[in-house]
Amino acid sequence: MKCPFCGHLETQVVETRLAEDGDFIRRRRQCGACEKRFTTYEKPEVNFPAIVKKDGRRIEYQRDKLRASLNLALRKRPVSTEQVDSAIERIEEKLLALPSREVASHRIGELVMRELKKLDKVAYVRFASVYRNFEDIDEFKMLVDEVRN
């Protein structure tokens, strides 16, 4: 690895540690020329399928957008950050298991609805009412009746 201070190409790993959450490896390195130390992080690269929007556009999967959608539905609800993180992980696992390199945005919406239904019924109804774009109160009533039963 190239030294960020002097540009020398030979550096030595002095110490390696697994991060607390286990998601990446932290390495302390020392330059062979200037002897300065620096830290590098190593994490696996995961390729999620492209998201195909209703209008046919293809966009990259963005975890932050998924988290924002869940957090909006769960606003002021008694659901912990750990529960949200677990839901996101389950959704991502399903996306990575898909055989296709593309997934329709409505499929992700359905995955989100399944997770919200497990986490919090009120958040599920909030998300579903926007996601399904209800036209009248009867559709909303049917959804609430479905959740009750």
What tens digit of pLDDT does each residue of 89-146 get? 999 999 999 999 999 999 999 999 999 999 999 999 889 888 777 777 888 788 888 8
Q: Which residue has the higher pLDDT, 107 or 43?
A: 107
Per-residue pLDDT band for 76 (boundaries 50, 70, 90) equals: very high
**In sequence order, which residues have a C-beta less than 8 Å from that of residue 88 and are 6 or more positions away?**
63, 66, 67, 70
pLDDT at 16 over 90: yes
pLDDT at res. 130: 82
> 42: helix, coil or strand?
strand
Band of residue 81 on the pLDDT scale cut at 50, 70, 90? very high
∠ Cα 14 19 23 (to 5°) = 125
- The answer to whether 49 and 95 have CB atoms below 8 angstroms apart is yes
Q: Which amino acid is at 57?
A: R
The pLDDT score that the predictor gives to residue 14 is 96
Cβ atoms < 10 Å from Cβ of 73: 25
> Residue 92 CA to chain centroid, in angstroms?
6
pLDDT bin (cut points 50, 70, 90) of residue 22 is confident
| Torsion on CA atoms 85, 67, 106, 54, rounded to nearest 10 | -160
Residue 139's pLDDT is 80
The owner of tokens 């839901």 is: 87
Burial class of residue 23 (count of CB atoms within 10 Å of its CB; 0-12, 13-18, 19+): exposed
Question: Per DSSP, what are the bridge partners of residue 38?
Answer: 29
> CA nearest 94: which of 115, 80, 120, 74?
115
Predicted confidence at residue 143, as pLDDT, reads 81
What is the residue extent of each domain of the chain?
11-42, 50-134
| pLDDT score recorded for residue 46 | 81
Look at 31 and 141; give whichever has higher pLDDT: 31
